[in-house]
Structure 1
């Protein structure tokens, strides 16, 4: 990322100075902490800066040495835990003492405002209450399923064209566009159609939002971000420009929706099933408030699902035996056998069919264990406390749990923790087996558990069922390393380039060859016309017999 290079040059002097101060503070605090029991020091925030491009690897390495550790900062300790007991205590047992706080709010508010992911207290409870009701309604479930099936079919058409022309595609980019189309339709009733590239505004918004997400996360390790924001230089100047693009698009959308809702000649708008329309009916219409809700829904419904689907296709490419097993389960679970078009296939994926796909559910969940959409989740401690591991934390400390590192901990998952094994999620009857949400933290837990969990699973399963029923995926370059981009969500850096090879033609070809062979062999047996003549191939794109195959057909009657 270019903005990171310029930011690094600008901040290197202040970081070196801060690093020296940090180690002095660390040594002093270590002596002070000897009187109490505090978590071991793993380093300083300067180490995070140095390891920013491999941040989750770095924190996983530290978690392997200390299940919970501290990084020294200028103003507070930053505590990182991969201990399920600590996670449960933070997210459930003593929930009220751990929240976003002013520190996280100040970092996130330029992008996400007063949305549900940045606030505490009454603001959070009000949004949670309204959102919880909406996500529990059958209306939203049915409406969203229709949208997901439609966009899955549209994506299959794009991949079919690529397969027919023997092209590889950036699968992550396609998922980002498709999930953006889906979340805009479900949440705001808007046909964005970024999948087909018909909306330049939509593409600009998507790019600006992704870059804003990356630059917002950069603030956590950039000690000078507030100075740069004040001076409007470096990464902060670029973040400001990107947020202006985001805001322009979103406010335009909000004003259009408000006009529809207040148009006396457009009564149909009152019956709309999208979330924004429903919010407008039950709460205030302040554009800033609605803007914040919209962007929080987008980061929850677009980036997380698209990134998870991308990692899912990646692990299936690395484990073709799992890919085949999932594809077979999908085929067996669906009532339709002869597929004439992708829309018909997508429409046949009912709730009942999805319930018959426990292995698909397990394979997606195993992907989320190793590649959680949100790899780090930070809270602020509001008052002095002691965690279940016996170590103390102080008021103002940042306490984060690490879904990415936790998915790789032998103490949690066993010696095979690095292996991709969907079977670990299935019981002896092949049915899906849940794990504690404080052990499998991909969707948070406790009062802040992800409202869209079932919503996300349904979308991922519908997309996966359509695509794996129709295509076989292979990486375009098996030797090229695949890594994440350090941002709020776990995106694949540079995208995922894979070849979708059409699977439907294989079934069709086998069926045709078997029918023809059965009909011929039922009535005839065959002999070569000349047993002494050599039979060889003709060098072409397909393997033809040179000169044809001359046979004698002898009746079996």
Structure 2
């Protein structure tokens, strides 16, 4: 094993020497002897999502990426809906997350994202029960509306009054961090305020995600060697994990203390958070042992899912709307229809019930998610050798990668106008929402692993979007460069720098 590690280190060194020489040919990656296509991958890593789009478009939707010899890095990239449906639904049992996924995402522990088989089924069953419960829905509605009114609006009022340039992406990360933390644990960390304070827990999540992306593009022996030495991204991940564990342990111990005193259930008529529900539903655990380790993994999995995906989606959505005046005008016209006739069209916030009825707003969100999915890629590992509907062979030591970012940019899937932001493509002839199959629109996953938090995400996004679009004008700062970052979550590399002005002079 040691010899193999040094061998891969030498290969990686050679790859870096070749980075600026013949990384690709005719848009496709060159397959070098011994080192495979790794040089071409590394030279394009700064624009990996667009490179994947180019390669998959040229190759008909499926492409075999050859990794270095003996590195077990061969990867089949695909956006073919037939392959996606086969892997995610029809032959689901042969495509678990697998041991390699667990290694890469080890900081998530044994939570629902990493688990397979009975552990996954039991966790999903319990999570679905608790998330679908009326008590949690009540808490979701109240939390979402309160955080918009008492957190988001005061900040927007402040920056608009002062004429400040602000990073809207950072604001959305703070907003969804607070709301997700409240929904999952019941505690508000106060990340969203005019002072914009530093929150170590939130930064630790960012650092962990960056390190995990690096594990996707370098040989396993390289990042394990870094981990052993305690250097580079692995050092950052280790420090992030310590912070995450410390804060979550405090959440759990505090909640247990409050429950033992009867404090946490005093306001139960307004709904309850998920941590409280897990601790108070022993009869519904389905054989799961809800000890501190299980609660730690569950909280972290939910925090990653709730904070990152929703804030990413909101950032790209507001940018798209603010740069497409016709779409913005259409949303504003639809919002007017939700305002009672006796009420003036003036500054106001919208209830969850009001925005949930809006078709065009929902379709605009779906269109944004199609072009900029918060999780831009995911991978599976076949348990047994298999042949995909496209005719490609896969085996247990090969990753199968879906590029959700590329999928939304394929003409053979979405038509010649696939690069355009057109909410109308989601509206049926009857004026209702057109539901596309999940193996074509994969933003919320597909098959048995379809996202449990889909409705939670839409509830939060609609409340925030309606509040901003109806009450403010958002203008991207001139010269600000918008491009995707390189991470497991699709954020903007340089944030979203904007100026915000009020649409209404009176309150």
TM-score w.r.t. the length of structure 2 is 0.88
Q: Which residue of 1 aligns with 2:5?
A: none
Q: Which residue of 2 aligns with 1:547?
A: none
Q: Which residue of 1 aligns with 2:466?
A: 465
Q: Which residue of 2 aligns with 1:337?
A: 343
Q: CA deviation at 1:139?
A: 2.3
Contact 1:374 1:490 in 2 (8 A): yes
Is 1:57 the counterpart of 2:57 in the alignment?
Answer: no
Is 1:349 the counterpart of 2:366 in the alignment?
Answer: no
Contact 1:376 1:403 in 2 (8 A): yes
Measure, in 1, the Cα distance between the counterparts of 2:9 and 2:40: 13
Q: CA deviation at 1:17?
A: 4.3
1:378–1:266: structure 2 CA closer, same or farther, 3 Å change rule? closer
Measure, in 2, the Cα distance between the counterparts of 1:303 and 1:179: 8
Measure, in 1, the Cα distance between the counterparts of 2:367 and 2:124: 28
Is 1:133 the counterpart of 2:144 in the alignment?
Answer: no
SS of aligned partner of 1:430: coil
Is 1:245 the counterpart of 2:247 in the alignment?
Answer: no
The correspondence for 2:173, drawn from 166, 173, 176, is 176
| Residues 481-515 of structure 1: per-residue CA shift (max 9 Å, x gap) | 2011111110111210111111122xx69xxxxxx
Measure, in 2, the Cα distance between the counterparts of 1:486 and 1:321: 31
Q: Which residue of 1 aligns with 2:491?
A: 491
Contact 1:80 1:401 in 2 (8 A): yes
| Residues 284-317 of structure 1: per-residue CA shift (max 9 Å, x gap) | 3422211111111011111100010000111112
Is 1:374 the counterpart of 2:380 in the alignment?
Answer: no
Q: CA deviation at 1:12?
A: 7.8
The correspondence for 2:201, drawn from 181, 199, 205, is 205
Q: Which residue of 1 aligns with 2:21?
A: none
1:264–1:275: structure 2 CA closer, same or farther, 3 Å change rule? closer
Matches within 5 A, 1:184-333: 184-196=181-193, 203-223=199-219, 224-263=222-261, 268=266, 273-282=272-281, 283=285, 284-333=289-338
Contact 1:192 1:199 in 2 (8 A): no
Q: Which residue of 1 aligns with 2:85?
A: 88
1:52–1:12: structure 2 CA closer, same or farther, 3 Å change rule? farther
Greater C-alpha Rg: 1
Q: CA deviation at 1:114?
A: 0.9
Q: Which residue of 2 aligns with 1:544?
A: none
Measure, in 1, the Cα distance between the counterparts of 2:371 and 2:446: 18
Q: Which residue of 1 aligns with 2:23?
A: none
Contact 1:112 1:292 in 2 (8 A): yes
TM-score w.r.t. the length of structure 1 is 0.80
Contact 1:365 1:422 in 2 (8 A): yes
Contact 2:56 2:406 in 1 (8 A): yes
SS of aligned partner of 2:208: helix
Q: Which residue of 2 aligns with 1:79?
A: 76
| Residues 333-375 of structure 1: per-residue CA shift (max 9 Å, x gap) | 133734887xxx33x4142x22431111111110000000110
1:197–1:381: structure 2 CA closer, same or farther, 3 Å change rule? farther
Q: How many pairs are equivalent?
A: 471
Q: Which residue of 2 aligns with 1:383?
A: 384
Contact 1:270 1:277 in 2 (8 A): no
Q: Which residue of 2 aligns with 1:396?
A: 397
Q: CA deviation at 1:209?
A: 0.9
SS of aligned partner of 1:381: coil
Contact 1:260 1:269 in 2 (8 A): no
Measure, in 1, the Cα distance between the counterparts of 2:314 and 2:392: 38
Runs of at least 5 residues in structure 1 that lack an aligned partner in the other structure: 1-10, 21-39, 510-557
| Residues 140-195 of structure 1: per-residue CA shift (max 9 Å, x gap) | 22220111111112212211121122222111111111111111111111122110
The correspondence for 2:63, drawn from 53, 63, 69, is 69
Contact 1:471 1:502 in 2 (8 A): yes
Is 1:161 the counterpart of 2:158 in the alignment?
Answer: yes
Measure, in 1, the Cα distance between the counterparts of 2:128 and 2:469: 32
| Residues 92-119 of structure 1: per-residue CA shift (max 9 Å, x gap) | 000011121111100101x211111112
Contact 1:193 1:199 in 2 (8 A): no
Contact 1:41 1:70 in 2 (8 A): no
Contact 1:469 1:504 in 2 (8 A): no
Measure, in 2, the Cα distance between the counterparts of 1:136 and 1:266: 20
Measure, in 2, the Cα distance between the counterparts of 1:155 and 1:401: 35
Q: CA deviation at 1:60?
A: 0.8
Measure, in 2, the Cα distance between the counterparts of 1:285 and 1:256: 16
Measure, in 1, the Cα distance between the counterparts of 2:294 and 2:178: 22
Measure, in 2, the Cα distance between the counterparts of 1:48 and 1:247: 34
- How large is the Cα RMSD of the aligned pairs? 2.5
Q: CA deviation at 1:253?
A: 1.0
